[in-house]
């Protein structure tokens, strides 16, 4: 990295430490890995895209008429 970016190895180490402190990367021996963002909690997902989920629910409801069995997974969109 230092050669590719034209900076010292100390600069790279310092920047990697800062990114690790912000939990954006995980340090490894001789490098770092980009941390994958965690999926928001279900309670947070319920607050997001509410209008879009309502549209999906309204479009799906007529498809259920006459159904004797309905199997659905759990999730924020399913609530609609």
pLDDT in tens, 36-73: 777 788 888 888 899 998 899 889 889 888 888 888 88
3-class SS at 32? strand
Q: Are 43 and 73 in contact (CB under 8 A)?
A: no
> What is the token pair recorded at 32?
């770092």
Report whether 22 contacts 35 (CB < 8 A).
Answer: no
Say yes or no to pLDDT of 1 above 80. Answer: yes
């Amino acid at each position: 990295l230092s050669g590719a970016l034209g900076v010292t190895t100390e600069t790279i180490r310092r920047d990697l430490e800062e990114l690790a402190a912000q939990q954006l990367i995980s340090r490894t021996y001789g490098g770092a890995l980009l941390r994958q963002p965690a999926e928001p909690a279900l309670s947070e997902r319920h607050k997001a895209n509410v209008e879009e989920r309502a549209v999906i629910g309204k479009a799906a409801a007529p498809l259920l008429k006459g159904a004797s069995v309905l199997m659905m997974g759990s999730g924020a969109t399913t609530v609609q």
